[in-house]
């Protein structure tokens, strides 16, 4: 285990460098620059000597700083979540109180809130800390004002552009619990890329006091749903002083407008937990996807209608509104009401709304779209609809596929399709499925006549790339993986990476993951009160040199987490081969109301206890961004086996190639676009599928069996032989070639820098 023993004048701390690699970096940096910190490497993991971050590296020792001044600088850094993707801005917090840093999921504000004044004044005596603080402050000031892709190429032509981006969740960092899964991750990554590229975009969302639930597995593998209470002081949100009124039904709900800074991007979050609101209305912003459908609908009124009102109260006049998923559909109706109040005729107002609205749909499964009883919607939106001059019949015409079907509920997606001129799916295949699915809304016979295009998802590279991998690409391949440009052709150089160095980088990431997993498994075992032998077992699980396959995602049933366990005997053969060991690391949360998804989680949990798999198949609880980062960095293979075509895009598979990981996936979501035959593996084929919705039971069993068979065959014939086919130097050349092809071909395109620039040119400014 790689640990840093950092001895400061006040404390002796053991920092687990593997929970967050920053600590290694800090320790190395501090060791170079401060005589009072000594660093010792405890294990024999090959960590290459390297220069620290390329820019903002100071050679002069900064002047003494008063604790009060340091605190001001630290607060300014902590309040802008720019730190979440810029390691340089996290360093001073890790240095200030390393124990608190790790105990609080690396939350800068928690470190400030919970570490005492003596810690701060002690830190101010340290050269290393002062350097880290000065570097962080300089780098962040520079980044906020740096010229950007937008300022260089678009700003002059489109001077008044302002995009308002609506989403029900934002995943910025694991310590900011305002997300549940992929949608939030995509939205968070969108905002970060908008900041890096300088795109004039503000975001609207809700501020959830409980966030999403924390997942724990009980002794028997059942899911425990825990809602912690978060200390407001630890959340990087600022009061704006603005309170809006939002009509919901016959109530006027008041909501505070909070601001979260994501680099240059501002996010405005509505908080209805105010004493003047009725108790049931205070619950509107209690939790994410929590509660009955009617509460969910009312939340969405607050998001859409309240969000538009917040923009007005802030004096922001967006030139486009981007509804990311149907949750914020009501924003378009509030916009309609605005245009009508300004005197536009009904038809003109509808046209203006359509021209101004961009909609991204995320669900290729008909049942996955939010639908609410028409009477509820009519009741909840009465204020807005009266101002918009929309009758009950028109509401139904806008929100139903078939307006005259009395029983049909109002569908949020249908509303968006009718009120947005620009509509896109999140991958080519998904757009194709969506066109077929929504023909009736567009009143056309042929799917090709449906105006739904695709803008394929991506990931924000600086957020997801492990600092060790980033350093490898910079130093061994000579390109910056985090360049703030729409495309990054530097990735092509990955194909020529020095293979021995690449393989030792892979080993160090896999080793880090094994330690991370052991620590998490031990912690969970401890919490369950298991006996010392069980703890001992956890501490020795997994093998840092074995072929490591990762599966981490929401445990939605269509993702089929337990598919690999279809034939236990066959899997046992693969996993149990002493000469060519294979291991699986699982993580994933099911929605608290998704009984089947939780049953899947339990099934995987039970398998981790099976004598044939113990220590070789593990399940890490509380899948969050930190677990995600550790897994996508350390796993050799990223496994994805959804029911095709139910995965709209999927993004976790885009994070793995940043580290030279290889995808092994059903040809669903983004993978048909990403896979070129040499940069990963496809499970099964795309040919024999129709786009009709296959039911999960009857025909489903045959399909599952067929996909499982294809997966076993791949494992036995390709993955395992390639991984263990070693030259005399111990290097698996064939494997490395595929891994480098994965890095050379995938991250350039499947990044949110490319995605956001595409939204910009194709939807925001056209």
- Return the number of the residue (133 or 711) whose C-beta is nearest ligand PLP: 711
Residues 192 and 207: their CA atoms lie apart, in Å, by: 18
For the chain, the distance separating the N- and C-terminal CA atoms, rounded to the nearest angstrom, is 53
Pairing of strands 357-360, 422-425: parallel
| CB hemisphere CA count around 375 (13 angstroms) | 2
Q: Does 708 bind ligand PLP (CB under 6 A)?
A: no
Judged by beta carbon, residue 486 or residue 650, the one nearer ligand PLP is: 650
Closest distance of CB 459 from ligand PLP, Å:
7
> DSSP code of 231?
P
DSSP 64: P
> Is residue 660 part of the contact set for ligand PLP (CB under 6 A)?
no
Among 586, 623, 671, 735, binds ligand PLP (CB under 6 A): 623
Helix 87-96 × helix 117-124 angle, to 10°:
110
Indicate the DSSP class of residue 716.
I
Residue 214: alpha-carbon gap to chain centroid: 16
Query: Candidates 26-34, 141-149, 209-217, 620-628 — which segment interacts with ligand PLP by CB under 6 A?
Result: 620-628
Closest CB 105 distance from ligand PLP, rounded Å: 13
Q: Give the range of 22-30, 426-434, 501-509, 618-626 binding ligand PLP by CB under 6 A.
A: 618-626
Question: Does residue 645 have a cis peptide bond before it, meaning omega lies within 30 degrees of 0?
Answer: yes
* Distance of alpha carbon 503 from the chain centroid: 27
Among 463, 652, 679, 694, binds ligand PLP (CB under 6 A): 652
Residue 135 near residue 57, CB atoms below 8 Å: yes
CA 416 remoteness from chain centre = 24
**Nearer to ligand PLP by C-beta: 330 or 681?**
681
Q: Considering beta carbons, is residue 309 or 655 the nearer one to ligand PLP?
A: 655
Task: Quote the least distance from Cβ 554 to ligand PLP, whole Å.
Answer: 6
- Nearest approach, Cβ of residue 495 and ligand PLP (Å): 25
Q: How far is CA 571 from CA 454, 462, 575, 709, in A?
A: 38, 36, 6, 11
CA–CA dist 194, 101 (Å, integer):
28
Query: Does residue number 750 form part of the binding site for ligand PLP (CB under 6 A)?
Result: no
CB of 208 to ligand PLP, least distance (A): 16
Residue 224 burial by CB count (10 A; 0-12/13-18/19+): exposed, middle or buried? exposed
Which listed range, 138-146, 259-267, 644-652, 710-718, lies at the site for ligand PLP (CB under 6 A)?
644-652
Q: Which residues pair with 662 in a beta bridge?
A: 637
Using the minimum distance from each CB to ligand PLP, give the nearer residue, 660 or 732. 660
- Residue 746 near residue 657, CB atoms below 8 Å: yes
Nearer to ligand PLP, 204 or 625 (CB): 625
Segment 457 to 496, residues that bind ligand PLP, using CB under 6 A: none
Select from 119-127, 271-279, 366-374, 647-655 the region that touches ligand PLP (CB under 6 A). Answer: 647-655
Any contact of residue 650 with ligand PLP (CB under 6 A)?
Answer: yes
Round to whole Å and give the CA distance between 187 and 197.
15
Picking from 700, 661, 696, 697, the residue whose alpha carbon sits closest to that of residue 681 is 661
Give the shortest CB-646-to-ligand PLP separation in angstroms: 12
Which region among 9-17, 98-106, 110-118, 649-657 touches ligand PLP (by CB under 6 A)?
649-657
Footprint of ligand PLP on 535-554 (CB under 6 A) = 553-554
Beta strands in 183-282 (DSSP E): 201-206, 214-217, 223-226, 238-248, 251-262, 265-271
**Considering only 408-416, 504-512, 652-660, 757-765, which stretch makes contact with ligand PLP by CB under 6 A?**
652-660
Q: CB nearer to ligand PLP: give 608 or 652.
A: 652
Nearer to ligand PLP, 388 or 639 (CB): 639
Considering the rule CB under 6 A, would residue 361 count as an interface residue with ligand PLP? no
Among 135, 432, 624, 722, binds ligand PLP (CB under 6 A): 624
Q: How far apart are CA 369 and CA 45, in angstroms?
A: 48
CA dihedral 510, 599, 176, 660 (to 10 degrees): 20
- Our CB check for ligand PLP shows the closer of 33 and 362 to be 362
Structural contact between residues 356 and 335, judged by C-beta atoms closer than 8 angstroms: yes
Among the listed residues 625, 643, 667, 740, the single contact to ligand PLP using CB under 6 A: 625
Which has the closest alpha carbon to 468: 50, 12, 9?
Answer: 50
Provide, rounded to whole angstroms, the least separation between the CB of residue 670 and ligand PLP: 9
Nearest of 200, 182, 167 to residue 268 by alpha carbon: 167
What the block records as the tokens of 451 is: 């105006």
Kindly tell me which of 135 and 624 has the beta carbon lying closer to ligand PLP.
Answer: 624
- For residue 628, the minimal CB distance to ligand PLP (Å) is 3
Evaluate whether 330 touches 394 at the Cβ level (below 8 Å).
no
CA distance 368 to 370: 7
> What mask of x and - would describe binding to ligand PLP in positions 172 to 211, judged by CB under 6 A?
---------xx--x--------------------------
- Min CB(412)–ligand PLP separation in Å: 20
Task: Using the minimum distance from each CB to ligand PLP, give the nearer residue, 503 or 623.
Answer: 623
Take residue 446 and report the two structure tokens written for it: 């042929």
Shortest-Cβ-distance residue relative to ligand PLP: 628
Nearer to ligand PLP, 20 or 764 (CB): 20
Query: What DSSP state is assigned to residue 752?
Result: H
Residue span 138-177 as binding mask against ligand PLP, x where in contact by CB under 6 A, dash where not = ----------------------------------------
- Kindly report the three-state secondary structure assignment for every residue of 696-714: CCHHHHHHHHHHHHHHHHH
CB of 291 to ligand PLP, least distance (A): 22
Question: What is the size of the binding site for ligand PLP (CB under 6 A)?
Answer: 14
Residue 628 found at the interface with ligand PLP (CB under 6 A): yes
Window 231 to 270, contacts with ligand PLP (CB under 6 A): none
Rounded distance between C-alpha atoms, residue 101 and residue 116, angstroms: 13
Instruction: Give Cβ neighbours of residue 565 (< 8 Å, ≥ 6 apart).
Output: 571, 603, 604, 607
| Nearest residue (CB) to ligand PLP, 185 versus 381 | 185
The per-residue b/e assignment along 276-314, b for 16 or more CB within 10 angstroms, e otherwise, is: ebeeebbbbbbbbbbeeeeebbbbbbbbbbbbbbbbebb
For 167-180, give the secondary structure using H, E and C. CCCCCCCCCCCCCC
Decide whether 303 or 633 has the Cβ nearer to ligand PLP: 633
CB 108 within 8 A of CB 98: no
651 near ligand PLP, rule: CB under 6 A: yes
Give me the least distance between CB of 658 and ligand PLP, in Å please. 12
The piece of 252-260, 262-270, 325-333, 646-654 that touches ligand PLP (CB under 6 A) is 646-654
SS3 214: strand
Give the residue with the Cβ less far from ligand PLP, 630 or 743: 630
The least CB distance from residue 542 to ligand PLP, in Å, is 20
Q: Could you tell me the smallest distance in angstroms from the CB atom of residue 553 to ligand PLP?
A: 3
Closest separation between CB of residue 641 and ligand PLP, Å? 12
Which residues form the interface with ligand PLP (CB under 6 A)?
181-182, 185, 553-554, 623-625, 628, 650-653, 655
């Amino acid at each position: 285990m790689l640990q840093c023993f950092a001895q400061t004048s006040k404390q002796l701390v053991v920092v687990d460098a593997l929970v967050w690699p920053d600590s290694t970096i800090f320790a190395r940096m501090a060791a170079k620059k401060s005589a009072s910190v000594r660093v010792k490497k405890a294990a024999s993991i090959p960590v290459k000597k390297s220069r620290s971050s390329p820019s903002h590296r100071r050679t002069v020792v900064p002047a003494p700083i008063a604790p009060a001044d340091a605190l001001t600088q630290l607060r300014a850094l902590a309040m802008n979540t720019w730190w979440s993707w810029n390691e340089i801005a996290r360093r001073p917090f890790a240095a200030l109180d390393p124990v608190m840093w790790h105990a609080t999921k690396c939350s800068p504000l928690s470190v400030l809130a919970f570490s005492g004044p003596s810690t701060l004044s002690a830190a101010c005596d340290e050269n290393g800390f002062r350097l880290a603080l000065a570097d962080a402050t300089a780098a962040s000031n520079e980044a906020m004002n740096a010229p950007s892709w937008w300022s260089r190429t678009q700003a002059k032509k489109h001077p008044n552009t302002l995009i308002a981006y609506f989403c029900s969740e934002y995943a910025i960092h694991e310590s900011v619990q305002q997300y549940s899964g992929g949608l939030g991750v995509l939205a968070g990554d969108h905002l970060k890329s908008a900041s890096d590229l300088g795109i004039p975009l503000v975001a609207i969302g809700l501020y959830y006091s409980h966030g999403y639930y924390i997942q724990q597995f009980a002794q028997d593998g059942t899911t425990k749903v825990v809602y912690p209470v978060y200390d407001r002081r630890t959340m990087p949100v600022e009061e704006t002083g603005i309170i809006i009124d939002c009509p919901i039904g016959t109530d006027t709900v008041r909501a505070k407008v909070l601001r979260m800074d994501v680099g240059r991007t501002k996010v405005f979050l509505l908080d209805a937990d105010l004493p003047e609101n009725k108790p049931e209305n205070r619950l509107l912003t209690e939790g994410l996807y929590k509660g009955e459908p009617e509460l969910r609908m009312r939340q969405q009124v607050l998001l859409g209608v309240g969000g538009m009102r917040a923009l007005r109260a802030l004096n922001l006049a967006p030139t486009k509104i981007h509804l990311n998923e149907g949750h914020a559909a009501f924003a378009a109706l509030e916009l309609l009401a605005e245009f009508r109040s300004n005197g536009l005729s009904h038809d003109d107002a509808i046209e203006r709304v359509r021209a101004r609205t961009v909609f991204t749909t995320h669900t290729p499964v008909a049942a996955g779209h939010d639908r609410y009883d028409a009477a509820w919607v009519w009741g909840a939106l009465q204020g807005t609809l009266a101002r918009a001059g929309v009758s009950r019949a028109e509401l139904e015409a806008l929100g139903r596929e078939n307006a005259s079907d009395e029983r049909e509920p109002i569908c949020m997606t249908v509303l968006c399709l009718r009120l947005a001129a620009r509509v896109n799916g999140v991958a080519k295949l998904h757009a194709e499925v969506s066109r077929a699915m929504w023909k009736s809304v567009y009143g056309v016979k042929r799917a090709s006549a449906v105006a739904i295009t695709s803008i394929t998802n991506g990931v924000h590279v600086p957020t997801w790339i492990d600092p060790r991998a980033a350093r490898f690409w910079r130093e061994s391949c000579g390109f910056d993986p985090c360049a703030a440009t729409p495309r990054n052709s530097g990735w092509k150089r990955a194909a020529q990476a020095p293979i021995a160095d690449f393989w030792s980088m892979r080993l160090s990431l896999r080793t880090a993951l094994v330690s991370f997993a052991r620590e998490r498994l031990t912690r969970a075992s401890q919490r369950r009160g298991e006996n010392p032998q069980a703890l001992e077992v956890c501490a020795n699980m997994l093998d840092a040199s074995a072929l490591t396959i990762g599966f981490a995602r929401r445990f939605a049933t269509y993702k089929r987490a337990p598919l690999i366990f279809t034939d236990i005997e066959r899997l046992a053969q693969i996993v149990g081969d002493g000469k060519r060991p294979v291991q699986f690391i699982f993580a994933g949360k099911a929605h608290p109301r998704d009984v089947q998804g939780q049953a899947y989680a339990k099934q995987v949990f039970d398998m981790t206890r099976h004598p044939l798999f113990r220590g070789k198949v593990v399940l890490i609880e509380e899948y969050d961004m930190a677990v995600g980062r550790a897994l996508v960095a350390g796993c050799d293979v990223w496994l994805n086996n959804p029911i095709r075509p139910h995965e709209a895009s999927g993004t976790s598979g885009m994070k793995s190639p940043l580290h030279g990981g290889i995808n092994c996936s059903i040809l669903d979501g983004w993978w048909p676009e990403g896979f070129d035959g040499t940069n990963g593996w496809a499970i099964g084929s795309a040919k024999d599928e129709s786009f009709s919705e296959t039911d999960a039971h009857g025909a489903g069993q045959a399909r599952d069996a067929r996909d499982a068979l294809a997966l076993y065959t791949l494992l036995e014939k390709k993955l395992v032989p390639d991984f263990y086919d070693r030259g005399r130097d111990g290097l698996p050349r064939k494997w490395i070639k595929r891994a480098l092809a994965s890095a050379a071909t995938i991250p350039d395109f499947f990044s949110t820098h490319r995605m956001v620039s595409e939204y910009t040119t194709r939807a925001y400014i056209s």
